[in-house]
């Protein structure tokens, strides 16, 4: 009496071999394999539901995976909608065959009937797990993508320092009437073009990263280290005075002067020049930056490797 169940058992064996091949032999978890798995499950579910009839829960896979495919193959873009349509179309066709055409396989259905509830509950649980897991991982990836986007919006990609846009937004948030005295120091790497021309742009990038690391240490937790553009940087010190900032900047200058960047078998030594300007409560920060830049220029004219206050 179990002769009628053999085709379905063979179908299940083929499905198991398919998963075993991808997971344990080929060890392929690429999106192409995920797409192949999606269609294999659709075919398996279609044939199982068609053979057993309604009430076994195989139909749930077709519906659940039509949403999960968006996580399984994210880089397939609009093709995923086609996959969805195939899944939904297959589900619609299946119901038409079962309810309108009234196709049935009595021998298989009779043999499987004692296990109907178990099949349904297991298939419901697996489908729910697939949908929940896909939703969870998709949401997690989206959160990570947004975090990366927010980071890149506020930071310089190469050095990890805050970028110009972030710095301007932070200062503009504080009304002029509420600003306390602050100090801005503009810093420039001496002869940076010579470094690029002599050692190459990769070496130049390593120099920028080294200087940025020193700037970040000098800024600490209370202040902002900003890559202003090219080889120019800004250190922003709120609620302080130039006399307190100057020792910090001069220590930064001496630290960079004593640091060697080793790249491609070469040792590169560089220096910085900086200018310090004070912003009062009602100061326009752009004017303060220009003042710091003017003092930086004086330092360049005066021989470089110095901080001008």
Residues annotated as catalytic are 231
Maximal C-alpha separation, the chain: 102
Among all chains, which residue has been given the structure tokens 């900032």? 245
Residue 99 is given by DSSP the state: I
Match 């589900």 to its residue by tokens.
Answer: 91
Q: Say how far residue 54 (Cα) sits from the centre of its chain.
A: 43
The counts of H helices and E strands in the chain are: 11, 8
Separation CA 290–CA 302 (nearest Å): 18
Distance CA 103, CA 101 (A): 6
Among 174, 196, 71, smallest CA distance to 132 is for 71
Q: CA-CA distances (angstroms) from residue 287 to 106, 277, 278, 290?
A: 87, 9, 10, 5
Q: How far apart are CA 226 and CA 234, in angstroms?
A: 5
DSSP, residue by residue, 185-247: EEEEETTHHHHHHHH-HHHHHHHHHHHHHHHHHHHTTTSEEEEEETTEEEEEEES--HHHHHH
């Amino acid at each position: 009496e179990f002769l009628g169940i053999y085709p379905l058992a063979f179908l299940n064996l083929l499905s198991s071999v398919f998963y075993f091949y991808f997971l344990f032999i080929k060890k392929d978890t690429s999106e192409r394999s995920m797409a192949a798995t999606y269609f294999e499950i659709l075919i398996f579910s279609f044939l199982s539901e068609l053979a057993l009839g309604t009430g076994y829960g195989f139909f749930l896979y077709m519906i659940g995976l039509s949403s999960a495919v968006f996580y399984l193959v994210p880089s397939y873009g609009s093709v995923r909608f086609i996959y969805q349509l195939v899944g939904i179309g297959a589900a619609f066709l299946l119901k038409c065959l079962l309810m309108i055409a009234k196709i049935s396989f009595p021998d298989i259905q009779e043999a499987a009937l004692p296990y109907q509830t178990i099949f349904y509950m297991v298939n419901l649980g697996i489908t729910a797990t697939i949908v929940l897991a896909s939703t969870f991982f998709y949401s997690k990836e989206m959160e990570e993508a947004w975090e990366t986007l927010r980071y890149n919006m506020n930071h310089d990609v190469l050095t990890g320092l805050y970028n110009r846009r972030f710095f301007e937004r932070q200062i503009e948030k504080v009304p002029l009437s509420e600003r306390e005295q602050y100090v801005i120091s503009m810093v420039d790497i001496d002869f940076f073009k010579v470094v690029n021309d002599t050692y190459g742009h990769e070496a130049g990038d390593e120099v920028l990263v080294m200087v940025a690391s020193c700037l970040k240490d000098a800024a600490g937790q209370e202040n902002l280290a900003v890559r202003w553009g090219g080889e120019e940087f800004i250190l922003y010190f709120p609620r302080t005075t130039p006399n307190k900032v100057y020792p910090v900047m001069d220590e930064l200058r001496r630290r960079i002067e004593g640091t060697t960047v080793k790249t491609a078998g070469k040792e590169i030594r560089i220096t910085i020049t900086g200018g310090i300007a004070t912003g009062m409560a009602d100061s326009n920060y752009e004017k303060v930056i220009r003042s710091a830049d003017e003092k930086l220029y004086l330092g360049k004219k005066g021989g470089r490797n110095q901080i001008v206050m």
